[in-house]
Amino acid sequence: MIHSRSYLLLFALMFAAPDAGAQERRVLFIGNSYTYVNDLPNTLAQLALSMGDTIIAAMSAPGGYTLQQHASYPPTLNLIASQAWDFVVVQEQSQIPSFPIAQVQSDCFPFAAALVDTIHAHYPCTEAVFYMTWGRESGDALNCPNWPPVCTYSGMQALLRERYLQMAVDNDAFCAPVGAAWKMVRDAWPAIDLYAADGSHPSPAGTYLAACTMYATMLRKSCIASTYSAQLDSATAATLRMVASDLVLDSLTNWNIGVNDPQAFATWNDLGGMQVSFEQSSTGAVAHHWWFGDGAESSDPAPTHTYAGPGTYAGMYVCTDVCGRTDTLQFEVLLSAVGIGGPSASDDRFEVHDGMFQATTREASTIDIWLTDGRLLGHARTRPGTLTSIPLQMHGTTILYRSVTTSGKPRTGHLMIP
């Protein structure tokens, strides 16, 4: 339990992507013809250039190559080892991830893991990105007789989505949801032809959509304002940029983007006499920096700061991991001449039990629960002395809670779900 005058810094949790200004990123593509047709790496580089960013790209993409082949292919391995890549994009042969799960587990997943292991062995800070491809325009006619789920585009696409996301989750990697963006365009803008004549490979519009999705995935920012259209008509290009940007950025966690980022988490404790102690329990962080809201700052992991007088101070805490990735927490410290009261720890109880968040409070209160990325999990009202439960439906993560009594007294903290 936390002290009654210790407050969670959750007033404005803000995800900190890499520098939102001009960026330079080194990207290696590992794949096959879905990557080299229409030159996806160069399309991405030109798109980035129009946004003021620089993508330095290389590619190992022999036609029809599988991850199993790449895992022992000297040109691929030599490129991986050639420099410290910011991102390595991994694309499986177009049909394999949609095969029956037992076959995918033997022919695909182990080699995806082997490639990611090789990537990290050469440079631990490289982010692996799994390139979710798309279902064939009319389904996979070759494999349809023996595996009916791939007889249609939608059936094949659903399996590709599921399996690429699984690879991303299993390997702590990003997923570039090109196939999901493809489906959105097919459903809402069927006049935009994303396929080449063979109904499998991308048309120039399909490659442009893939590049837009890659840009949003890697740089975590929209490409809607880009002036580069890859010789598509302006309306088509604008639609594809919008779809890709909105799909990726609407919820980065859907695609496992940022999975390796540190997570900022901190509390403060009013010691009296305008003195406040700060503590952090961030994950993955090796460096810390605090701005206290009055012009002072500190790089101490757990600083104590004395304010000049009562007031509301808007501060910020930034944690950084060994790879230079950051997360940022904005907060407010509220100080008055008489201090800040609150219910005592012995009066209120907050705990996790049998998959439920459980609270018993002395006063009627409202309670909100969040994940550490800011997503709201639940909301409830309590009655004095009565147990209130909120189902969590998840395991192995940290939740944040904030309880506010009807008289306005806040109580905040964090709990681990086993």
Relative orientation angle of helices 204-219 and 40-50, to the nearest 10 degrees: 60
Mean pLDDT of the chain: 88
- The answer, yes or no, to whether residue 128 has pLDDT greater than 60, is yes
| Alpha carbon distance 134, 103 (integer Å) | 19
pLDDT band at 337 (very low <50, low <70, confident <90, very high): low
Sign of CA dihedral 29, 17, 168, 124: positive
pLDDT band at 347 (very low <50, low <70, confident <90, very high): low
Question: The tokens of 101 are what?
Answer: 């799960």
* Number of residues written out for the chain: 418
Quick one: which of 40, 136, 138, 132 has its CA closest to 90?
132
pLDDT in tens, 196-213: 999 999 999 999 999 999
**CA distances from residue 318 to 17, 165, 286, 378 in whole angstroms, order as listed:** 12, 29, 11, 27
Kindly give, in sequence order, each residue whose CB lies less than 8 Å from that of residue 313, ignoring residues fewer than 6 positions away.
Answer: 292, 293, 294, 307, 332, 333, 335
Report, as an integer, the average pLDDT of 169-195.
Answer: 98
Per-residue pLDDT at 273? 87
Report, as an integer, the average pLDDT of 269-287.
Answer: 89
pLDDT in tens, 219-245: 999 999 999 999 999 999 999 999 999
pLDDT in tens, 19-74: 456 889 999 999 999 999 999 999 999 999 999 999 999 999 999 999 999 999 99
- Find the Cα–Cα–Cα–Cα dihedral 356, 3, 411, 6, rounded to 10°: -120
Quick one: which of 20, 95, 43 has its CA closest to 65?
95
- pTM of the prediction? 0.77
Most confident of 3-17, 187-201, 335-349, 381-395: 187-201
| Alpha carbon distance 363, 406 (integer Å) | 7
Give the DSSP letter string of 100-139.
-HHHHHHHTHHHHHHHHHHHHHH-TTPEEEEE-----BTB
Quick one: which of 286, 285, 214 has its CA closest to 245?
214
Question: The tokens of 192 are what?
Answer: 């935009």
β-pairing, 311-320 vs 6-8, is unpaired
Beta strands in 82-237 (DSSP E): 87-90, 127-131, 174-176
pLDDT band at 251 (very low <50, low <70, confident <90, very high): confident
**CA distances from residue 384 to 74, 136, 363 in whole angstroms, order as listed:** 68, 59, 5
Residue type, 381: R
Quick one: which of 146, 148, 180 has its CA closest to 163?
180
β-pairing, 287-291 vs 326-335, is unpaired
What are the chain's domains?
1-16+261-341 (2.60.40.10), 24-255 (3.40.50.1110), 342-418 (2.60.40.10)
| Alpha carbon distance 349, 110 (integer Å) | 46
Per-residue pLDDT at 408? 67
Query: Exposed (0-12), middle (13-18) or buried (19+): which is 332, by Cβ within 10 Å?
Result: middle
Map tokens 């595996």 to a residue.
147
The answer to whether 105 and 111 have CB atoms below 8 angstroms apart is: no
Beta strands in 157-248 (DSSP E): 174-176
Kindly give, in sequence order, each residue whose CB lies less than 8 Å from that of residue 182, ignoring residues fewer than 6 positions away.
Answer: 134, 157, 194, 206, 209
| Alpha carbon distance 331, 321 (integer Å) | 21
Give the sheet arrangement for strand 24-30, strand by strand: 54-60, 24-30, 87-90, 127-131, 174-176
User: Bridge partners of 305?
Assistant: 276
The answer to whether 35 and 41 have CB atoms below 8 angstroms apart is: yes
Give the sheet arrangement for strand 397-405, strand by strand: 376-382, 365-371, 397-405, 410-417
- The answer, yes or no, to whether residue 180 has pLDDT greater than 60, is yes
